[in-house]
Copies of this chain bind each other. A is one copy, B any other.
């Protein structure tokens, strides 16, 4: 599919195919879809992306994306400001919020330490987290990172940085997922869930 009848189409297809998970064929389908829409709709589409990129702010406290200098979570007086949940990206903020089980604040690292991908601690929002703890008033830090080598390394690195502060450090529970069949669980997770067994309440 390299014989584009129009340079403008070829250019749009090239741009669309840079999106993750979009190949040349899907990109052509998206471009032809956009061509079929009204001018106004396509304009709104493009503007929403430009606005997102050019106007979005990052909360100066937790680094979550926000429409104002301090995000709606950090500026909400009914949230528990003494607890910080440390997450990788804003996607995890949204996931934790959706559980409705957490009323504290967040800290968005912007990634995890990964020498393979060239991500160093200084590329992440770790210093700003240490600063928040140093300023006082924080009682607990909860790590909600992926249970991968990189996530564990990051938790360990941050925990070491915080060891001189009077703050409780916890990590979200690892275990068998709700609804999972025990027979299909991996032995590492099953082993961990036995070690971390909970008192059964009747």
Task: Tell me the residues in window 18-65 of chain A with beta carbons closer than 8 Å to chain B beta carbons.
Answer: 18-21, 26, 28-35, 37, 39, 41-57, 59, 64-65
B64–A5 CB distance below 8 A: yes
Copies of the chain in the assembly: 2
Min CB distance, A105 to chain B, in Å?
Answer: 12
Asked if A11 meets B51 with Cβ closer than 8 Å, knowing A3-B98, A5-B93, the reply is yes
Min CB distance, A34 to chain B, in Å?
Answer: 6
Asked if A34 meets B52 with Cβ closer than 8 Å, knowing A28-B91, A45-B18, the reply is yes
In the bound complex, CA of A57 to CA of B9 (Å): 11
Asked if A48 meets B5 with Cβ closer than 8 Å, knowing A90-B32, A91-B28, the reply is no
What are the 10 A-B residue pairs with the smallest beta carbon separation, nearest first?
Answer: A12-B52, A15-B48, A42-B53, A46-B46, A3-B97, A12-B48, A15-B45, A11-B48, A8-B52, A46-B50
| Contacting residue for A50 out of B6, B43, B71, B98, CB 8 A | B43
Interface residues of A (CB under 8 A from B): 1-9, 11-12, 14-16, 18-21, 26, 28-35, 37, 39, 41-57, 59, 64-67, 71-73, 89-91, 93-95, 97-98
A8–B67 CB distance below 8 A: yes
In the bound complex, CA of A55 to CA of B6 (Å): 11
A6–B42 CB distance below 8 A: no
8 further A-B pairs in the complex, CB-CB below 8 A; given A5-B59, A12-B49, A35-B53: A5-B72, A11-B51, A11-B52, A21-B29, A28-B91, A32-B91, A35-B56, A42-B49
Provide a sorted-by-A list of 16 A–B residue pairs whose CB atoms are within 8 angstroms. A1-B98, A3-B98, A5-B59, A5-B66, A5-B73, A6-B67, A8-B48, A8-B67, A9-B52, A15-B49, A20-B29, A28-B91, A31-B49, A39-B53, A42-B49, A46-B46
Complex: chain B residue closest to A29, CB-CB: B20
B42–A50 CB distance below 8 A: yes
